[in-house]
A = this chain, B = another copy of it.
Amino acid sequence: MPRKPSYDRDALIAQARDIFWRQGWAGTSLKDLESELKLKPGSFYAAFGSKDALYALALQKYLHDSVARMQTLAEELGPLGALKAQPLLVVEAADPPSRVCMLAKTFAELRARDHELSAQAGAHLGEMLECFTALFQQAQARGEIGGDHDPARLAARYQSDLMGLRLSADRDDVDARAIASDIASDIERLRAT
């Protein structure tokens, strides 16, 4: 019977996600990971294989948690309520590794290299876009927004604005709360009256 590893794999992936999210791909060495995750090179290799394999797991976790968070929010507040609440939640999140979206950061950093992690991040941005599109569709099906809107188009603009907001939220010279509130007002304005 194989010995159970003495580490919590999911916790290590979450920790690695935070390091990659903060420092980026090029800014994180295998040595950084081994030291911060407190794994010897042999254990790191046995657990994850390589830095890139661990980065891929971190991206998956980031996407999975983001989609789950939006869905929970939609159960609480309804689809339009969730879309409206999300901008301020992003700005007010307590002490994230970075306010910039990890998918967007990875996509932008590695695109010039044609790196497969950039393709993965791009695909996850597409899945996140589907999640937003589904929420706009549900809002439309419930009659919360008019039938003349195109949910896919609204979702693409919304995701784009959120990516900009998350970059703005890392700046000291910009009132990101005001931007978040203006994005939320745009969502409110869609509401069918």
Q: Chain A: residues with CB nearer than 8 A to chain B?
A: 22-24, 26-27, 97-98, 100, 104-105, 107-109, 111-113, 122, 125-126, 129, 153, 156-157, 159-165, 167-168, 170-176, 178-179, 182-183, 186
Q: Kindly list chain B residues whose C-beta atoms are within 8 Å of the C-beta of A111.
A: 98, 170
Select A160's contact among B26, B153, B157, B168, beta carbons within 8 Å.
B168
Chain A, interface SS category: helix
B153 touches A178 (CB 8 A): yes
Nearest 9 interchain pairs by C-beta: A164-B164, A26-B26, A160-B164, A163-B164, A160-B168, A22-B112, A126-B173, A100-B108, A23-B112
For A109, what are the chain B residues with a Cβ–Cβ distance below 8 Å? 24, 27, 109
Is B125 a contact partner of A171 (Cβ separation < 8 A)? yes
**Beta-carbon contact of A160 and B156 below 8 Å:** no
**A23, A129, A157, A160, most chain B CB atoms within 10 A:** A160
Report yes or no: B27 in contact with A174, Cβ–Cβ below 8 A.
no
Whether A108 and B105, one on each chain, are in contact in the complex, defined by CB atoms closer than 8 angstroms, is yes
Given contacts A27-B26, A157-B182, A167-B160, contact A172 B122 (CB under 8 A): yes
Q: Provide 12 A-B residue pairs closer than 8 Å at the C-beta atoms, listed in order of the A residue.
A: A22-B112, A98-B108, A108-B170, A109-B109, A125-B173, A126-B171, A156-B175, A156-B179, A157-B183, A159-B168, A164-B167, A186-B186
